C-alpha cells in the first residue's frame, strides 16, 4: 500500500513541472514518466493501483495534473483519452517488464526502455488517439498525426525511466522488477 501511494504521489509531483500547451488541446507533461516508472518498478498490479489512485484523486477535484488541473472536467477534455490510457499503460509496462530480463542492472535498464516504450508510449497513445477522435472530433488521420508530436519527448522519458531503473537495480540488487 505504501509503494502504491508513493507512486501516486510521484505522478502528482511530476505534475509540478510546468506543462507545455499545444494547439491540439493536450499538454506535454512529465507525468507520463511517472506512469512508466510505476509499471517498471512496481509491476502490473501495483502500477495499475497507483495510477488509478492518482486519477481518483484528480476526479475528486484535487489539482494534481500539470498546470493545476483537476476535477471531472479533465475527463471530458481532449486529453481524456491519454488519462484513461495511463492505468492500462502502467499495467502493460509492468507486464512487459516482468516478461523481460532483469538479471543485471544493464538488462533491467534495456528492459525498462522497451517496456515503457510499449506500455507508456504506444498503449497510452492509442488511448489518446481514440480520445482525440471522440472528444476533439478529429479524424483518425488528424489524431494520429497530432499525437506524433509527443513521441520524441516520450522516447526521452523512456530513456529517463531506463536510467532510474538502472540506478534502482544497482542500489537494490534484490528488487524484483515487474512483480
Interior angle at CA 106, CA 103 and CA 110, nearest 5: 95
Judge whether 164 lies within some domain.
Answer: yes
Cα–Cα distance for residue pair 149/159, rounded to 1 Å? 17
Question: 79-124 pLDDT, tens per residue?
Answer: 999 999 999 999 999 999 999 999 999 999 999 999 999 999 999 9
Average pLDDT over all residues of the chain: 95
Judge whether 60 lies within some domain.
Answer: yes
Judge whether 179 lies within some domain.
Answer: no
Question: 31-79 pLDDT, tens per residue?
Answer: 999 999 999 999 999 999 999 999 999 999 999 999 899 999 999 999 9
Domains: count for the chain: 1
Question: Bigger pLDDT: 20 or 25?
Answer: 20
* C-alpha torsion 84→133→69→148, nearest 10: 90
Q: Contact 64/70 with Cβ under 8 angstroms? A: yes
Judge whether 147 lies within some domain.
Answer: yes
**Percentage of the chain lying above the pLDDT 70 cut:** 100
- Cell numbers that stand for 144 in this block: 494520429
**Mapped to the 3 state alphabet, what secondary structure does the chain carry?**
CHHHHHHHHHHHHHCCCCCECCCCCCCECCHHHHHHHHHHHHCHHHHHHHHHHHHHHHHCCCCCECCCECCHHHHHCCCHHHHHHHHHHHHHHHHHHHHCCCCCHHHHHHHHHHHHHHHHHHHHHHHHHHHHHHCCCCCHHHHHHHHHHHHHHHHHHHHHHHHHHHHHHHHCCCCCCCC
Judge whether 86 lies within some domain.
Answer: yes
Question: 121-163 pLDDT, tens per residue?
Answer: 999 999 999 999 999 999 999 999 999 999 999 999 999 999 9
Domain span holding position 153: 2-171
pTM over 0.75: yes
Give me the phi and psi of 69, to 5 degrees please.
Answer: -90, 150
Domain harbouring 112, CATH code: 1.10.1760.20
Amino acid at each position: 500500500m505504501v509503494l502504491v501511494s508513493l507512486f501516486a504521489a510521484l505522478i502528482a509531483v511530476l505534475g509540478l513541472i510546468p506543462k507545455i500547451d499545444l494547439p491540439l488541446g493536450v499538454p506535454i507533461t512529465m507525468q507520463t514518466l511517472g506512469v512508466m516508472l510505476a509499471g517498471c518498478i512496481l509491476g502490473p498490479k501495483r502500477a495499475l493501483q497507483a495510477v488509478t489512485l492518482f486519477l481518483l484523486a484528480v476526479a475528486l477535484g484535487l489539482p494534481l495534473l500539470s498546470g493545476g488541473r483537476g476535477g471531472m472536467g479533465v475527463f471530458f477534455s481532449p486529453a481524456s483519452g491519454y488519462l484513461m490510457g495511463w492505468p492500462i499503460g502502467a499495467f502493460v509496462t509492468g507486464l512487459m517488464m516482468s516478461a523481460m530480463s532483469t538479471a543485471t542492472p544493464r538488462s533491467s535498464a534495456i528492459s525498462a526502455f522497451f517496456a515503457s516504450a510499449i506500455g507508456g508510449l504506444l498503449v497510452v497513445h492509442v488511448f489518446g488517439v481514440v480520445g482525440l477522435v471522440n472528444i476533439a472530433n478529429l479524424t483518425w488521420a488528424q489524431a494520429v498525426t497530432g499525437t506524433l508530436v509527443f513521441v520524441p519527448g516520450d522516447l526521452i522519458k523512456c530513456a529517463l525511466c531506463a536510467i532510474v531503473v538502472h540506478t534502482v537495480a544497482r542500489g537494490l540488487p534484490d528488487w524484483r522488477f515487474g512483480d
